[in-house]
Amino acid sequence: MKTCYFCQGEVVKKRIRHVHHWGDELVIFENVPSEVCTQCGEVYFSPEVLEMMDKATLGRTPPDKSVAVPVFSLP
């Protein structure tokens, strides 16, 4: 993929941190191979990467580490 689907901007390969919401749960993937639009910031994942993330979430693979996430509810 060379250009952004939305804005036709330039898309570059990058390893990013991706936050995945799973119902009330939050899963963070680090070092995720992705392609990011330099113009609008849209992130693209390959089907292989999406499948790896799906398997990690559904298969309950033990995570490499866990972090506490502070939650603030605004009035």
Q: Using the rule CB under 5 A, which residue among 7, 26, 27, 50 binds Zn ion?
A: 7
Residue 40 interacts with Zn ion (CB under 5 A): yes or no: yes
Q: Which amino acid is at 46?
A: S
Q: Beta-carbon neighbour count of residue 36 at 10 Å? A: 19
Binding-site residue total for Zn ion (CB under 5 A)?
Answer: 8
Choose which of 9, 20, 44, 45 interacts with Zn ion (CB under 5 A).
9
Nearer to Zn ion, 27 or 40 (CB): 40
Residues found near Zn ion in the complex (CB under 5 A): 4, 6-7, 9, 37, 39-40, 42
